[in-house]
Chains A and B, each alone.
Chain A
Amino acid sequence: MGDVHEVPRRRVATAHLAQHIGQPVCFVGRVEKIHPTGKFFVLSDGEGKNTTVELREPLDEEISGIVEVVGRVTNQATIMCMSYVQFREDKSPFDLELYNEALKIIHEFPEYFPFG
């Protein structure tokens, strides 16, 4: 899986990517589009802002809905994906806007929600 899973990965939204170039992050967003080659896709965050996620290997499955990506922020403020998981929404839809609000809270109180 790669060493990025052994270190803290800050939960971020699109607006935070520029401040985290080169760093491991965790990004949750809604699938907006998938490139025909399957080598990258676009996620929107809880504020509706888009982020491009690049893959080392093309996707071998259809993805849709809410996806959580773990990876590193590139110089272009995209995310080089090391792994991803789809959130289950079979019982209830995921409230992405609420998640974005929660991100603001956890960023505001690092003493009560430390990354690393």
Chain B
Amino acid sequence: QRIRSQNIVPCTVSQLLAAEQVDETFRIRDVEISQVTIMGIIRHAEKAPTNILYKVDDMTAAPMDVRQWVDTDEAGGENVVVPPGTYVKVAGHLRSFQNKKSLVAFKIMPLENMNEFTTHLLEIVNAHMILRKNLMSASRVPQSFASAGMGDVGGYGGGGSLPVNGLTAHQSQVLNLIKNCPVPEGMSLQELKLQLHNMSMSTIKQAVEFLSSEGHIYSTVDDDHYKSTDAE
């Protein structure tokens, strides 16, 4: 039920190699990570019957092993192997076996616009800085981190309109309702939907995820109830 394990965090290969493993979880400087994205150039590709093994190089360390399982049931058969020399974005899970780290990819896509690579560099710094800040802030640590996942437009929870004070109109409305809620368990997503007739549940959820990752709100009894971090 922990939202944190559903985060997808942009990382460098060097960060992944340095991640510490405790039981089933990995931590980069104490921040828990599971699903990650990397961007790099394919140095090597090897096709086997059930999987394709790539070596992806982002210059921060030696190339990382990235394994993509082939769907052998797929009609028409072949998974297309991305050729070496191609810049790709990879989304996958970090794994460690016999002390060697690798990624199991659920998505590998060639970059069509290399400016995405520049954005990725900045998103890595931003994401790890926010995660670290959330970890360091006392007591009420926000539970979720909404990262710009693959193909997301607008970055972290953008509401479409120009933000004021760093929040869009949607985000401000949601935050104000949560702030003014007197109930100990805070405001539920259902109550927010009842009060905000103009917003779809998915818009409300996006706003809540963003506010939570920025530290304005935190979840209480479960992932559906939130209180404001600005104490009354």
Contact = CB atoms under 8 A, between A and B. Distances in A.
26 contacts: A5-B62, A7-B62, A8-B60, A8-B61, A9-B59, A10-B59, A66-B114, A85-B85, A88-B114, A91-B113, A95-B115, A95-B118, A98-B118, A102-B122, A105-B122, A112-B125, A112-B128, A112-B129, A113-B60, A113-B121, A113-B128, A114-B14, A114-B18, A114-B60, A116-B14, A116-B61
Contacts of A19: none
Interface residues of A, number: 31
Given A8-B61, A98-B115, A113-B121, 9 more contacts: A88-B111, A88-B112, A94-B114, A109-B129, A112-B124, A113-B60, A113-B124, A114-B14, A115-B59
A60 interface: no
A83 B38 CA distance: 21
Nearest to B62: A6
A94 B43 CA distance: 22
Interface residues of B, number: 28
A69 to B, nearest CB: 11
Contact of A113 (B12, B29, B62): B12
B63 A5 contact: yes
Nearest to B85: A85
Nearest to B131: A112
A57 interface: no
B interface secondary structure, majority? mixed
A95 B115 CA distance: 7
Interface centre among B12, B59, B62, B122 (most CB of A within 10 A): B59
Contacts of B61: 7-8, 116
Interface string A86-113: 0111011011001100100110010111
A5 B187 CA distance: 52
B16 to A, nearest CB: 11
Nearest to B124: A113
Nearest to B120: A102
A116 B115 contact: no
B15 interface: yes
Contacts of B29: 111
Interface in B103-135: 111-115, 118, 121-122, 124-125, 128-129, 132
